[in-house]
Structure 1
Amino acid sequence: MHTHVHTLVIGTHEVEKRSSWIGYQICYRTRENVVGTTDAQSAGGATGAESSSNRHSLNCCIRVPTIQVQKALWGVTMVMCVCSSWAGATQLAKLTFKQFDAPFTLTWFATTWNCLFFPLYYIGHLCKSPERQTPRQRFRECCRFFGDDGLTPKVFFTKVAPFGLLWILTNYLYLQALRKINTTDVSVLFCCNKAFVFLLSWIVLRDRFMGVRIVAAILAIAGIVMMTYADGFHSHSVIGITLVVASASMSALYKVLFKMVLGSAKFGEAALFLSIVGSANFVFISFVPVILYFTHVEYIDSLEDIPWAYLCGVAALLFAFNVLVNFGIAITYPTLISLGIVLSVPVNAMVDLYTCEINFNTVRLIAVFIICLGFLMLLLPEDWDQCIIQLSTKLRKRDEPAEGSGEAGATTGLNWRGRSRTSMSTFAH
């Protein structure tokens, strides 16, 4: 927490203004004039300087907190949007299967919408960037993400195609699970992907070991077992849970391999990568829905009976969700975006409770709680323990002057100034 301290000397008064991102703290104190000027000498020129200095100091005090408040407000908006898009796509996909039972066709259709990522990013580039490039120039610059040679056939089949398959598998297994079990169980079990990401990163990428995240992973695994037990190990329930856990595993594998093979991507590079995945899905995978249609695996009597509104709704909500997750960090904190995913669980639970598609027994409630708790524990930063220690130390130091306030009237001016400087140093980090 950064604190800015501004000191104004006006006549015989010294005003200290302190501001932090959590609000404002203004302390006033008096001291003798070190120059030795009298009140009559200083009163004449102090009035004009006071108003201008106060305005300047107030602007300095407000600037930093305003940025933080703005980011927090954007974060609240992002949480609501991420939660709404993810829960809406899940619920709408469940409704779609009642009219058109074709999970792979829906996966293919929704993935094709990824082609819109790079055009959408380029529009933002034209609006924001002072140096406007042509689409070809921007494309070539973003292609450097794949190496010095750009996007060659070898790079495509070794670095892009595998991630495209993992993307399709993640979404297909998730939609297949929706056909077997309710949306609440699917959404809460998919939250386990955060624990799988940590375990894979710890094993493959040699990330830092954290005891709290190991506990979170254990809670996630315990939640999976309890969720399976909640319905009595029925075949449809076990199959559905297996499918959604496999989907979460594919999602975790996608994220870890992406970091290991390609590293971190900028906004333009990520948009180009997702557009290439969507284009490759349309070019190379389009034959699969056709085969499934003619083999009556995913069949519908007439093309007019296809619920296009539902299909486009699911695809649009999934596209919006991916836009928010990939580009939302530009305007708010990544933790708030992840928080929107876990908040979709109670939203889906309320919908399922209203439609009478779920039985909230004690075992299921405990399973949902510990999985969500594990997800939230995984959002803690790596130095969370040090942050808590520093925060408690600062709060303890801040309370020390308040404990000695009873002696303030009996102390001399020198002692009073000493305590003020101690308090000021607490906020000046």
Structure 2
Amino acid sequence: MKKHSARVAPLSACNSPVLTLTKVEGDEHSRDSPAPAEAQAQAGMEAGGRGSRCCWTCSVTQLKKFFWGVVVVLGVCSSWSGSTQLAKLTFNKFDAPFTLTWFATNWNFLFFPLYYIGHVFKSTEKQSPQQRYRECCRFFGDNGLTLKAFFTKAAPFGVLWILTNYLYLHAIKKIDTTDVSVLFCCNKAFVFLLSWIVLRDRFMGVRIVAAILAIAGIVMMTYADGFHSYSVIGIALVVGSASMSAMYKVLFKLLLGSAKFGEAALFLSVLAVFNILFVTCIPVILYFTKVEYWSSFDAIPWGSICGFSVLLLTFNILLNFGIAITYPTLISLGIVLSVPVNAVVDHYRSEIVFNSVRVIAIVIIGLGFLLLLLPEEWDEWLIKLLTRLKVRKKEEVPEGNGDIVSGLQNKSRRTRPSMSSFTH
């Protein structure tokens, strides 16, 4: 039996999932396995039954995966749009985006405990928390999570995580949530450009076109608001957030590669530890300097703050670990679907004017995002599909001509007089 383990790059709070499945080397053969000749005989006898069973099993598995994909897409869409709208409402009473970022990041500490609970329920070989922790710590190196590994492999990503979320939340104060959500979709284009330059990934013309569409959409979105100062600052903040998110992902792939689910959960929990130890002083400084000041702790809307943190945690769980039950492309679609959801809410609240330029910008950025979801082999698949269609057309045309010719021959035979009629 072959062992498989999913590997996933933990992403920032708003990044689009690009997850890969890799096989663990090594095969385990059972001691009671039949000889090659016997196995071939059994395979020949059971080929017919196994073929139908295999097709049925594959179809049922694909249907289940697609069904769970729909569930995950709805969860990603609702949690992402819900957290964005709730953050907008929170700033009406609690104007402190960095403090909100710090508070929500602390909830990442729950990643590893939640993963271990899932490990206890699903794994056949259960391990103690200490054993599972030590095994996951190998991700940071042979010596585990040392102080050096903490500052070199976790701290930089903690800074990028904070910047990504803070710039995103600060942009929500400046512009509408629809513009923020659609502009953040450009982060996937930035990921491609950085991967192409830094990681030397494969060049794809369609992705260059998608990156150009994303940049054009950013310019059109700025033009839609008339280049006002508040809109320009808000758009710059979202673009900065998308850039930090792209840098987080590319640097993770460059420096750390990929991680198993347990390693990813531990890594995200370590980011929360970094946030508690080294970032806590910043909200305190902002409070006493009255940059982010609130009158009393009773005036803080704890319900909306905790709700935002729960939704953001749910979004990150689905984004990073949804690959275990469905396809990565379906997860990415949840982020795109959050744009029309935010648009409907903003229109209902009368906070946005959908002029023609804004609508075109939204469509262009969304189209660029969808083009970036195409697999690397999409051109080969398209060529194969067109080739098959041409072959089918060529096969159908001779068959149709053959039927017409045979019909004409039969008709001529019926109408042609025989020689016997003349002799009489």
Shared fold (TM-score greater than 0.5)?
yes
Q: 1:308 aligns with which of 302, 307, 314?
A: 302
How many Å separate the matches in 2 of 1:273 and 1:406? 67
Q: Who is 2:95 aligned against?
A: 101
Q: 2:189 aligns with which of 180, 195, 198?
A: 195
Q: Given the alignment of the two structures, is residue 224 of structure 1 paired with residue 201 of structure 2, yes or no?
A: no
The letter of the residue matching 2:345 is: V
Q: 1:200 to 1:59 in 2, by over 3 A?
A: same
Q: How much does 1:280 deviate?
A: 1.6
Between the aligned residues of both structures, percent identity stands at: 69
Q: Who is 1:320 aligned against?
A: 314
How many Å separate the matches in 2 of 1:160 and 1:405? 68
SS of corresponding position for 2:259: coil
Q: Who is 2:292 aligned against?
A: 298
How many Å separate the matches in 2 of 1:199 and 1:60? 41
Higher RCO (CA < 8 A, seq sep 6+) = 2
Q: Who is 2:253 aligned against?
A: 259
The letter of the residue matching 1:239 is: I
Matches within 5 A, 1:328-347: 328-347=322-341
How many Å separate the matches in 1 of 2:404 and 2:122? 58
How many Å separate the matches in 1 of 2:47 and 2:267? 52
Q: Given the alignment of the two structures, is residue 75 of structure 1 paired with residue 75 of structure 2, yes or no?
A: no
Q: How much does 1:283 deviate?
A: 2.1
Q: How much does 1:409 deviate?
A: 12
Q: How much does 1:54 deviate?
A: 9.3
How many Å separate the matches in 2 of 1:176 and 1:396? 54
Q: How much does 1:292 deviate?
A: 1.7
How many Å separate the matches in 1 of 2:190 and 2:372? 11
**Residues 198-251 of structure 1 deviation map (CA, whole Å, 9 limit, x = unaligned):** 000001111111111001101101111111111111000000000000000000
Q: Where in structure 2 are there 5+ consecutive unaligned residues?
A: 1-45, 407-424
**Residues 144-185 of structure 1 deviation map (CA, whole Å, 9 limit, x = unaligned):** 111111111111111100000000000000000000000000
Number of residue pairs aligned between Structure 1 and Structure 2: 360
Q: Who is 1:140 aligned against?
A: 134
SS of corresponding position for 1:209: coil
How many Å separate the matches in 2 of 1:103 and 1:269? 29
**Residues 364-408 of structure 1 deviation map (CA, whole Å, 9 limit, x = unaligned):** 111111111101000011110101111223344455655527858
Which of 210-219 and 277-286 deviates more?
277-286
SS of corresponding position for 1:99: coil
Q: Who is 2:359 aligned against?
A: 365
How many Å separate the matches in 2 of 1:281 and 1:53? 58
Matches within 5 A, 1:154-165: 154-165=148-159
How many Å separate the matches in 2 of 1:370 and 1:409? 50
The letter of the residue matching 2:137 is: C
Q: Given the alignment of the two structures, is residue 206 of structure 1 paired with residue 200 of structure 2, yes or no?
A: yes
The letter of the residue matching 2:205 is: G
How many Å separate the matches in 2 of 1:62 and 1:398? 27
The letter of the residue matching 2:352 is: I
How many Å separate the matches in 2 of 1:372 and 1:93? 23
How many Å separate the matches in 1 of 2:168 and 2:47? 60
How many Å separate the matches in 1 of 2:215 and 2:261? 34
How many Å separate the matches in 2 of 1:123 and 1:410? 72
**Residues 62-97 of structure 1 deviation map (CA, whole Å, 9 limit, x = unaligned):** 211111111111111111111111100000000000
How many Å separate the matches in 2 of 1:62 and 1:255? 38
**Residues 112-147 of structure 1 deviation map (CA, whole Å, 9 limit, x = unaligned):** 000000001111111111111111111111111111
How many Å separate the matches in 2 of 1:267 and 1:339? 22
How many Å separate the matches in 2 of 1:339 and 1:94? 23
How many Å separate the matches in 1 of 2:392 and 2:104? 54
Q: How much does 1:286 deviate?
A: 1.5
Q: How much does 1:284 deviate?
A: 1.9
Q: Where in structure 1 are there 5+ consecutive unaligned residues?
A: 1-51, 412-429
The letter of the residue matching 1:169 is: L
CA RMSD of aligned residues (A): 2.0
Q: Who is 1:21 aligned against?
A: none
SS of corresponding position for 1:101: coil
How many Å separate the matches in 2 of 1:323 and 1:394? 41
